[in-house]
Amino acid sequence: MLTFRTLGVLEAALDGRPVTPTAPKVRQMLALLLARRNTLVSIAAIAGELWDHAPPRSATATVQTYVYQLRKLLQSDDETADGTGPLVTGATGYMLRVPPGAYDAEEFEQLTAQARAALDTGDFRTAAERLTAALAWWAGQPFADVTQGPYLQAYALRLEELHMHALEMRIAAGLGLGLHRELVAELKELASTHPLHEWFQGGLIIALQRCGRSSEALQVYQRLRRLLRDELGLDPSPGLQQIRQHVLTGHATAADLDLLPG
């Protein structure tokens, strides 16, 4: 079975044997075909990605050479001859056939969608399980060792945004399960790594207050308030200000996360 990993460095394996291309442009083309898997990608779109919309005159011939190199890595000569391999030639471009379960980013997206549906119904345990499984696929920045043209940059950015949302949902599920103490350390790390991210700061404030550490929770709020004013000239959002009021009255709950932008 041919499998692919892109949440981190690019890796392709055929029955467990590494078959990742080493040439930079061939790697970039494989990454593009993975991002647009099971869809015909035109030669013009491939050239636009590989040469940032300024392809050389030899672009079509060069793309064909890259396809030949990919085929030698990803499929047998018999598969190439009878057209049953994963790399398909169309009238205007190429398509990479990727079955379910063979691509880490697709698994990550599907598990995250399942978790979101569970969270929407208040099923915190199922959401937490799905998010733990989803985040286990995440090994780092998407396509970390691949040159990225305009399409791959946009696709990688979307995956990174989804990763942030998955982290938020996992925190929400954990708080919904009452795991406030268990989440404080992780939330402190996230809040430190993303000092202007109100959702992580708000999650930390709520977790601290639920642990009986209201004074520390208010310190987190004041630190963020100063940072927002110094860096952006802004005040905390109305939702975060309301969470502060709930801390002062001792009534902050996981439901307050819905007050925050995210």
**What CATH number corresponds to the domain at position 55?**
1.10.10.10
Given 48, 79, 96, the domain boundary residue is 96
Out of 96, 125, 140, pick the residue that ends a domain: 96
Domains held by the chain: number: 2
pLDDT value of residue 121 = 95
Q: Which of 52, 67, 96 is the last residue of a domain?
A: 96
Among candidate residues 157, 168, 102, the one with its CA nearest the CA of residue 135? 168
Closest CA to 253 of 164, 170, 178, 171: 178
Is there a domain that residue 50 lies in?
Answer: yes
In a domain, 19, yes or no: yes
Mean pLDDT of all residues belonging to the chain: 94
pLDDT reported for residue 262: 60
Determine the pLDDT at residue 126. 98
Below-70 pLDDT ranges, the chain: 262
The reported pLDDT for the residue numbered 252 is: 81
| In-domain check, residue 37 | yes
Question: Is 121 within a domain?
Answer: no
Is 131 a member of any domain? no
Q: What is the pLDDT of residue 113?
A: 98
Q: Would you say residue 132 lies in a domain?
A: no
The CATH code of the domain that includes 246 is 1.25.40.10
Q: In this predicted structure, what is the pLDDT of residue 190?
A: 95
Could you give the CA distance from residue 168 to residue 153 in angstroms, rounded to a whole number? 23
Domain that holds residue 32: 2-96
* Count of CB atoms situated within 10 Å of the CB of 231: 10
- The answer to the question of residue 58 being in a domain is yes
